[in-house]
Amino acid sequence: MTEDKKNTEETQEKEEFEVVMPEANRVEMPATEFKEQPDYLKTFANFYISKFDESDLEIMDVYDGNHDVIEINTYLTNNMAFSRRNLVKHVLNIHGDRFMDMLNNIQKQTGVDPQNMKTYEDWEKWYTDRRNEIKQTLS
């Protein structure tokens, strides 16, 4: 076999088994757009998440009109890897209407104006007062 013929056969053999990888079509997901939420709603969501972390949401069930607590809690359970600040931002983006439903029920049933509840401590005091209103029984 001549040198040229041997090189031609080797070249054909290499081309026959050469794997060509196409360039991947990369698609970037658009950045999440967050609606601007009022401060009182952010404060309430932060308070709610802290009570969720403490497994202390019994009082909130009273103000749950449309299975809001279940939906919010499921979201929180599935996204606990977020920092608290990001969790508040994300849960309000998805379930802001559910938090507003609960706040509306709180306002109707207790007369508390959520817009006047500006701090975590305001909500903590309110929650403690609600808990103290529950009649205790001795068994």
In the prediction, which pLDDT does 12 show? 62
Which pLDDT belongs to residue 74? 95
- Which of 74, 35, 54 shows the shortest CA–CA distance to 127? 54
What does the alpha-carbon distance between residue 40 and residue 46 come to, in Å, rounded to a whole number?
10
Percent of residues, the chain, with pLDDT higher than 90: 59
This prediction has a pTM of 0.75
Range 42-67 average pLDDT: 92
Burial status of residue 10 (CB atoms within 10 A of its CB: 0-12, 13-18, 19 or more): exposed
Residue spans of alpha helices (H) in 21-67: 39-53, 58-61
User: Distance (Å, rounded) from C-alpha 131 to C-alpha 25?
Assistant: 57
Tokens of 32: 């999440």
Contacts of 9 (CB under 8 A, 6+ apart): none
Q: How confident is the model over 102-124, as pLDDT tens digits?
A: 999 999 999 999 999 999 999 99
Lowest mean pLDDT among 1-10, 69-78, 95-104: 1-10
What is the 8-class DSSP label of residue 82? S
